[in-house]
Amino acid sequence: MTAVTRRAGKSLTYAEAGVDIQAGERVVDLIESMMRKTHGPRVIGRRGAFAAMFRLDYNDKLFKKNYRDPVLVACTDGVGTKVKLASQLRVYHTVGIDCVAMNVNDLIVQGAEPLFFLDYLGLHKNIAEQTAELIAGVARGCEMAGCALIGGECAEMPDIYGEADFDLAGFAVGVVELRRAVDPMRVEAGDVVIGLASSGVHSNGFTLVREIITRNRLVLDLVDPQLGESTLGEVLLTPTRIYAQPIVKLLSRYKVKRIVSAMAHITGGGLPGNLKRVLPSNLDARIDAGSWTVPPIFTFLQKHGNIDPDEMWRVFNMGVGFVLIVRPAFADSVVRQLNRLGETAFIMGGIVQGSGRVCLG
């Protein structure tokens, strides 16, 4: 049997290998109050638990809403390479909102109410205050979406992530009554397409954005007159708009009538790629591209990148972050209600007989 011998000198620690357990514990201290602000009476559990618990309010008089036939809706998504820009500019408080938005905006397409959210943060080095700033953005996003941040994972992996690099992703769960779930097969010719304005580039296409910046040596911290009074970096890091609460409130006002035929979150693939996902194979969406103002950031990117117009529409949201397809008798009312709820809503087209295409004109 070979004896195991210890080398002389100071023993190696986990921190020296690149992982600081104490920094992780400090992050937990810093973010606890942020998370608690997102919790309602359905969140069960205590600090230090290995998993979080969330109570569905079925058959309990404590809660106002009792689901008769609840269906859980789940999705997961990340911020993508927008985090590279945030790291470069050392701006950490916005991409957490993006992370929540990319998930809950998908979830509400099914007509679901967001319930809770978990995040995953992978990074090169856990600098407690910086990490807490990232998670504070997630907590803020959850407040905006009306869901609880009930847990997550922060992984310090210097072998995987380069210096100053990090990645941020999330997982959302919601609930919808089965009979109220949005079914795109209800879309009919004559339905009206309503758009909700985006807040900018949102969180898609940033690999192309960063290539444009690199090739043109664009300066991120200078104000460009084409973009108003903000710097290019500020415009690009504007968080993805969260549409959850206005959409949930709108749907809750129609207890019997099914006025919304379908919805779409406009992410990678743009309007053509995402709207066609909710079209039956015998119908087209005819879109009037002049019915809204395209934000200047897209003109700026197209010009500096010499990007073909069709490519712009395939990659970016072009100013429309979310779409509803509604029954024609309710279209004007829906636009008014969404505007009162703080959105910029507009009629952008209609549904006609066709072959499952999105036609931009």
- End-of-domain residue from the set 147, 180, 213: 180
Q: CATH no. for residue 44?
A: 3.30.1330.10
pLDDT top residue among 294 and 10: 294
**Residue 64, pLDDT above cutoff 80:** no
Ranking 32-36, 90-94, 300-304 by mean pLDDT, the lowest is 32-36
128-134-139 Cα angle (round to 5): 115
Domain tally, the chain: 2
In a domain, 3, yes or no: no
Q: What is the mean predicted confidence (pLDDT) over 113-132?
A: 92
Cα–Cα distance measured from residue 117 to residue 103, given in angstroms and rounded to the nearest whole number: 9
Q: What mean pLDDT, rounded, does the chain reach?
A: 89
129 and 234 inside one domain: no
- Residue 255: the pLDDT is 83
Give yes or no: residues 158 and 199 share one domain.
no
Whether residue 113 is contained in a domain is answered as yes
Residues 126 and 271 in one domain: no
Whether residue 1 lies inside any domain: the answer is no
pLDDT digits (tens, 9 = 90+) for 142-196: 999 999 999 899 999 999 999 999 999 999 999 999 899 998 899 999 999 999 9
Encode 206-222: b = buried (16+ Cβ within 10 Å), e = exposed: bebbbebbeeeebebee
Q: Are residues 166 and 189 in the same domain?
A: no
Q: Mark 297-309 as b/e (b = at least 16 C-beta within 10 Å).
A: bbebbbebbebee
Question: Is 5 among the domain residues?
Answer: no
232 and 159 co-located in one domain: no
Confidence of residue 272 (pLDDT cuts 50, 70, 90): very high
Q: How does pLDDT run across 201-248, given as a tens digit for each residue?
A: 999 999 999 999 999 999 999 898 889 899 999 999 999 999 999 999
Q: Where are the beta strands (DSSP E) in 178-257?
A: 192-197
- 162 and 221 together in one domain: no
My answer on whether 162 and 194 are in the same domain is no
Contact 53, 59 (CB under 8 A): no
DSSP 271-317: HHHHHGGGS-TTEEEEE-TTSSPPPHHHHHHHHHHT--HHHHHHHS-
Lowest-confidence range among 56-60, 65-69, 185-189, 357-361?
Answer: 56-60
Q: Are residues 153 and 262 in the same domain?
A: no
Give residue-wise pLDDT tens across range 71-84. Answer: 999 999 999 999 99
- Where does a domain end: 145, 180, 215? 180
Does 3 have pLDDT greater than 70?
no
299 or 56: whose pLDDT is higher? Answer: 299
> In this model, does residue 333 exceed pLDDT 60?
yes
Residue 31: is its pLDDT beyond 80? no
Are both 91 and 109 inside the same structural domain?
A: yes
Domain membership of residue 323 (yes or no) is yes
Regarding whether 217 and 174 lie in a shared domain, the answer is no
Task: Sheet with 320-326: list strands edge to edge.
Answer: 260-265, 320-326, 192-197, 345-353, 283-287, 358-360
Tell me, yes or no, whether 124 lies in a domain: yes
According to the model, what pLDDT value does residue 126 have?
87
Residue 200 counted as domain residue: yes
Residues 50 and 158 in one domain: yes
* Same domain membership, residue 80 and residue 155: yes
Write the CATH number for 316.
Answer: 3.90.650.10
| Host domain of residue 267 | 184-360
Domain boundary among 180, 212, 241: 180
DSSP state of 223: B
What percent of the chain has a predicted confidence (pLDDT) above 90?
A: 72
Give the pLDDT confidence of 316-327 residue by residue, as tens digits. Answer: 999 999 999 999
pLDDT band, very low/low/confident/very high, at 54 (cuts 50, 70, 90): confident
Q: Which residues of 246-277 are buried (b: 16+ CB within 10 A; e: fewer)?
A: bbbebbeeeeeeebbbbbbbbbebbbbbbbbe
Are the beta carbons of 102 and 138 closer than 8 angstroms? no
